[in-house]
Chains A and B, each alone.
Chain A
Amino acid sequence: MDLQRINVKFFVENPDGILLTDFIRIFNSWIQASDGEYYDIADYHHVHAGPGVLLIAHEANISIDNTGNRLGLLYNRKQPLSGNNQEKLDFVFRSALEFCRRIEEEPAPQGKIKFGGNEFLFLINDRLLAPNSAATFRAVSPDLEKIAKTLYAGAEFLMDHRNDAREIFAVKVKSLVHFEVLELLHNLQDHGELKKEGSWDTTRSLSK
């Protein structure tokens, strides 16, 4: 299976008191610091358990997403990625985690925001490519397991998939050990170095 439209969501550890509207200011400062990379900000903080505040870009949207009433950073890759599945997953996870790290470094009125590294949601936002079925799970599992092993550096983790043909394909992955975002980034980095592929630049696009 050629993985595309990969989404990853890392959850906020300390969601109490976080105002979605603060992210409008944060994303706006990112836009100002970039050079045309981001298209716009979409503000849906007024809807219940919704997409929150999105930073729209051509290749991927980033959002502080509150779907399922769980606040987290959602990285939504829209444009096709090239390479093999591990390369694509590696790219998506590095990108998502870099954005988490960047948010953790942002000063916010109610204190620093922290993401939990020990749990993430892996999604494929394409019902044609990846219907939410046991067959898709079987097809995706080897690649997902492999990247999770890298992220969690051998620590034990669980993969939880629920068959529901109506929802987009989603697998919750949870490690039994606590991880920080930075640790996950290091684990990916170490793995990359072991493979002697040099360091990764998460702003580098793998799209065709």
Chain B
Amino acid sequence: MTAVESWKQKLAHLMPPDLAREIDIFETQIELRKQGKIDERVFAETRLRRGVYGQRYDNGQRHDGVRVQKLRLPSGGLTKGPETVWDAPGMIRIKIPFGGLNPEQMEVLADLSEEYADGISHVTTRQDIQYHFVHIDDTPSLMRRLAAVGITTREACGNVVRNVTACPLAGVCKDEVFDVTPYAKACSKFLLGHPDTQDFGRKFKIAFSGCKQHPCGLTSMHDMGAIAKKKVVNGEERRGFEFYVGGGLGAVPYRAQLFNDFLPQEELLPIAQAASRVFARLGEKRNRARARVKFLVANLGIDEFRRMVLEEREKLAADPRWTDYLSRLHEWAEKPLKPGVSLDGSERPAGFDAWYATNVYHQEQPGYVVATVTLPLGDITADQLRALADIAPRFVKDTIRTTVEQNLVFRWVSEADLPDLYKALCQIGLGEPNAGTIVDVTACPGTDTCKLGIASSRGLARKLRTHLSEASLQLDEAVKGLRIKVSGCFNSCGQHHIADIGFYGISRNVNGYTVPHFQVMLGGKFKDNAGAYGLPVGAVPSKRIPEVVTLVTDRYVRERQRGESFQDFISRIGKKEVKAMLDGLTKVPPHDVDPSYYSDWGDPREFTLTDMGVGECAGEVVSQAQFTLAASERELFEAQIYFDSGDFKKAVLTAYGAMVQAAQGIVKTQHYDISDNEEAILSEFQQRFCDTQLFYDKYAGRQFADYLFKAREALKSRGEIGEDLALRRLQEAQLFIDAAHSCYKKLSELQSASRASVAGTASPGEG
């Protein structure tokens, strides 16, 4: 055989020169880092901007359920970022603008997952694809192979414009105003690597939607969201967008605010550029927890933000790219492979009808349908993806997309072809029905691979899928249509805020053990572009969450009024009632009675937060503190009741009271006799826990403590309290109380260590 050439040589003629050059530069940066010529922090941001992300345990240690093991990685001290060992495998995020894929790209994605990762391509909640367990040394080759089929990982992570998402039905939807695909593509291309998008303090997410009422685009939860709109101007129909800014999920969700109710299409890119400049200039840079656009918009107020963006817009030098693409909009129109023929009379294979009922959408264009390929937890094997690349050209052209619900869709399928398509999917194990139903649970990576994960979102989602799909035939139609979304922590990558039933991972200290729990969120709205965010109703041990789903959905079926939505049902019965319903599920039996509560789904290890890398803490723990923390939760619950009854002012005051009480609980760990005086509590809390960084989250810093002081300042200023503000305060209070529990746990651990030290079992470093 001839000498093996490199991928760089082999693909030189296939890669776009700019992408090829960028990858060469990245490869050089890897080399320079190995030689110690690039600072680890600089390198970390560099690789993030190339989509090369960290993964759980990449600090070189892992708790095996009994002890922390130092992982044998031969890096010799070399790191790829702070506390990130070079040889530790990582995650690669691949940007798929608006989710658009063609068979050639699918095939390459399949190959790469096999050769560089663990054989799985994972579709994310933002239409990206992720690989896990990839070695950084393999990334330049991986990137070259993607570049050769027109895919980049550039700016898939880091403080930049992330993947631009759009409805997977864009262009074929019955309700859309027009196809947003070319706009999403143009926006993605224009902002990628643009000098005005390189100096953000935090990531920037953009979404496009073809209509206002459906959820496919989820524009309300994005930093920037554009909803297609038409308007007659001077007798002529013009295209434009209802344009929103400042939305976002994360720990505290913000709904995007209306920037312009009709932004002409010609202004889309210049306004996006101007907004980027304002964000780069004025957005928070030091405090990551406050650095998203949503905080800037909230701080400035939408009117001032708009004024600044428009002022910036006026200063911009004209760029032909702003409008060049508009003359070529017709080029984006997709073509079907075959004539559209209806299904009538075609033979239906076994199982087809159930699949047809949930996985098929009738397009605007007669005779054509969109067929959804259900991917369990967003995962697809290399063989399946390659097979799909074979199946696709039999039925459609390059019209495949990923979805925010972690599935794939084939668009422009002639309806008469559906039985054959279904059979082909079944042959590769992808004929599962239930797309977009309660069974099709969405989950972020959670503790499987995410460094910030607290509880196993995928483990829970897997369990719920099994639990619900076994019952799916018996499920009431109203329940089938609900959405469940799970996040491994409050950061909400699983989008739990916008689910009918959402969960996010937390932990609780019970009987001296750390026990995995999920916070239950009810009443979020996926429809209307993520039209409403859910509220937390209580923490339940992870192992009892399937029962939560059964209890809540059974009651909905039994007691719902005619045509009543789940959100309306939850508001009608009230959170007090919901909480009472869950009360029986919150108890954790002693460890020796049922140890299963003390480990997470799909993980036999005894549960621990050690793998998150908890910081040091000090203090003395007293049971009074726990009691006060519990009382603070109760008070917060009352705040939620006020909120439900429309008394937003009282809700905010009570939520603040709950936070003060939680702070008091924490202060009590060091100062038994702290009075009930608010000033005294806050002063002690500040001195003992904030100034000393004991009440400090490794990743969120002092964000949670700030919620308390911010709420206090806001109350002093006596501004108007509307629904949105009240909702936000409730969310912040919940997070503050969760953080208080975490802090309490850290203090308990320290106390145990101190006891061990007194007993003569101190660790070697101790004096």
Contacts and interface: CB of A to CB of B under 8 A. Distances in A.
Q: Which of B65, B71, B386, B429 has the most CB of A within 10 A?
A: B71
A82 interface: no
Interface in A32-66: 32, 34-37, 39-40, 42-44, 46-51, 54, 56, 58, 61
B195 interface: no
Interface in B539-579: none
Q: Which secondary structure dominates chain A's binding surface?
A: loop
Chain A interface residue number, banded: 35 or more
Contacts of A48: 381, 384, 428-430
B448 A43 contact: yes
A136 B386 CA distance: 22
Nearest to B69: A36
B317 interface: no
B329 interface: no
Contacts of B604: 24-25, 28
A42 B74 CA distance: 21
Given A39-B57, A46-B465, A48-B381, A78 B72 contact: no
A195 interface: no
Interface residues of B, number: 50
A194 interface: no
Interface string A116-129: 00000000011111
A125 B114 contact: yes
Given A35-B72, A39-B71, A127-B111, A28 B605 contact: yes
A17 interface: no
A18 to B, nearest CB: 17
Contacts of B429: 47-49
Contacts of A44: 118-120, 379, 381
Interface in A124-139: 125-129, 135-136, 139
Given A36-B71, A39-B88, A51 B119 contact: yes
A44 B121 CA distance: 11
Interface stretch (B3-11, B622-630, B723-731, B738-746): B3-11
Contacts of B73: 39, 58
Nearest to B386: A166
Nearest to A65: B119
Contacts of B71: 36, 39
Given A39-B89, A43-B448, A51-B381, A125 B115 contact: yes
Contacts of A126: 115
Contacts of B428: 48-49
A43 B111 contact: no
B431 to A, nearest CB: 9
Nearest to B120: A44
A173 interface: no
A82 to B, nearest CB: 14
Contacts of B120: 42, 44, 47, 50-51
B376 A46 contact: yes
Contact of B74 (A49, A58, A125, A135): A58
Contacts of A129: 4
A68 B448 contact: no
A36 B70 contact: yes
B4 A58 contact: no
Contacts of B465: 46
B232 interface: no
A31 interface: yes
Nearest to B119: A51
23 contacts: A25-B604, A28-B604, A28-B605, A34-B69, A35-B72, A36-B72, A39-B57, A39-B133, A40-B56, A46-B376, A46-B379, A47-B120, A47-B381, A49-B428, A50-B383, A56-B89, A67-B119, A125-B115, A128-B6, A128-B141, A139-B1, A166-B111, A166-B386
The 9 closest A-B pairs by CB, nearest first: A48-B429, A51-B119, A50-B381, A36-B72, A36-B69, A46-B376, A36-B71, A139-B1, A32-B64
Interface of B: 1, 4-7, 10, 56-57, 62, 64-66, 69-74, 87-89, 107, 111, 114-115, 118-120, 132-133, 135, 141, 376-377, 379-381, 383-384, 386, 428-430, 448, 462, 465, 602-605
